[in-house]
Amino acid sequence: MGTILNINTPRDYDLARDVCSYGYFLLAPNHWDVPRSRMLRVLELDDGPSACTITQLDSGKLRARFDRALSRTEQAHARTQITRMLSLDTSAKDVRAFHRVDPRWKRDGRARLFRSPTLFEDVIKTVTSCNVTWPSTVHMNTRICEVCGRKAVSGARGFPTPKKLARIKPGTLRARCRVGYRDTRIVELAKLFAKGSVDVEWLETKATDEEAFTFLLTLPGIGPYAAGNIMQLMGRYSRLALDTESIRHAKSVLGMDGTDAQLYKQLGAHYEPFGEHKFRAYWFELWDFYESKAGPAHQWERDATASVFTASNLNARS
């Protein structure tokens, strides 16, 4: 019989809203079960992978059901991973602070962003989102899990650990996961995480934003956009992660004009008043636009939605 964990949540927590708040919820091994409003994925734990189903009870608490019995230590690790993934550590106080700066999202309560159970997975997912259209990012993550992820009792596969990815040959990643030239960078990143060269605790909780950003730029495959994105995935919202989507947003929604370089400057100035919350102010604007085109995010099916989120499609549809 599998373990069941009951997890306390901040009072304002809404599983559907807060899972379907960032595109990574559409990437393997994550699966949002639209009809049943529940989150499924495999977590990597001490004694191996375990498939987990997370639902929200009427009381607001979460219930995580695993496909096998977990030891006490594994239960603690599972709680830690779920807390990170669902941003349960974003307190109601932090939410209020954000809404004071940007009251547009107070009514529906948006403030938390979905992320991965581990920083490593977020870093690799970010690399797979660079210089590629969204459908390819979806495909790469599916293949990485299928080829490199371990199988849980249920048969579902998880995201590979740093140790596992560090042992994969770049050529295998390229040929079987279709990651292209990112192959070597992904393996190098995995090796850095596996041997402890990336101090996750320091990065996530101790470093200043400037120190964290500067360090991220030293990692292979991580440039200004990727570093900015990883910053927000660590709960550091003082920077923007600007890419071609930002350019489209600047032109079509904010009515800005100019070269890309000029637009980046204008975007920086536009979101400056939001201070340490500026990424969320920017992101929820973008997300709101996506939902205006594709309907509420908690109703998005991964495969059906993948092709919608490309700059060309959104330009054509805006």
Partner DNA sequence: GGTAGACCTGGACGC
Partner DNA sequence: GCGTCCAGGTCTACC
Residue numbers of the site for DNA (CB under 7 A)? 130-133, 135-136, 139, 174-175, 178-181, 185, 217, 219-227, 243-245, 261, 307, 310-312
Closest distance of CB 235 from DNA, Å: 19
| CA trace torsion 136, 138, 140, 146 (10° rounding) | -150
For CA atoms 249, 252, 255, 259, the dihedral sign is: positive
Residue type, 33: D
Closest distance of CB 238 from DNA, Å: 17
Closest distance of CB 129 from DNA, Å: 7
Closest distance of CB 220 from DNA, Å: 5
DSSP string, 63-117: EEEESS---HHHHHHHHHHHHHHTTTTS-HHHHHHHHHH-GGGTTTT-------S
CB closer to DNA out of 30 and 128: 128
* Pick from 235, 263, 244, 211: nearest CA to 116: 235
Antiparallel, parallel or unpaired: β 4-7 and 38-45:
unpaired
CB closer to DNA out of 248 and 280: 248
CB closer to DNA out of 222 and 234: 222
Closest distance of CB 262 from DNA, Å: 11
CB closer to DNA out of 78 and 186: 186
Q: Give SS3 for 54.
A: strand
Closest distance of CB 180 from DNA, Å: 3
CA distance linking residue 162 with residue 188, whole number of Å? 10
Place of tokens 């991965």: 116
CB closer to DNA out of 49 and 149: 149
CA distance linking residue 28 with residue 307, whole number of Å? 16
CB closer to DNA out of 84 and 139: 139
For the chain, state the CA radius of gyration. Answer: 19
Closest distance of CB 87 from DNA, Å: 23
| Neighbour-count burial for 51-75, b at 16+ CB within 10 Å, e otherwise | bbbbbbeeeeebebebbbebeeebb
CB closer to DNA out of 1 and 261: 261
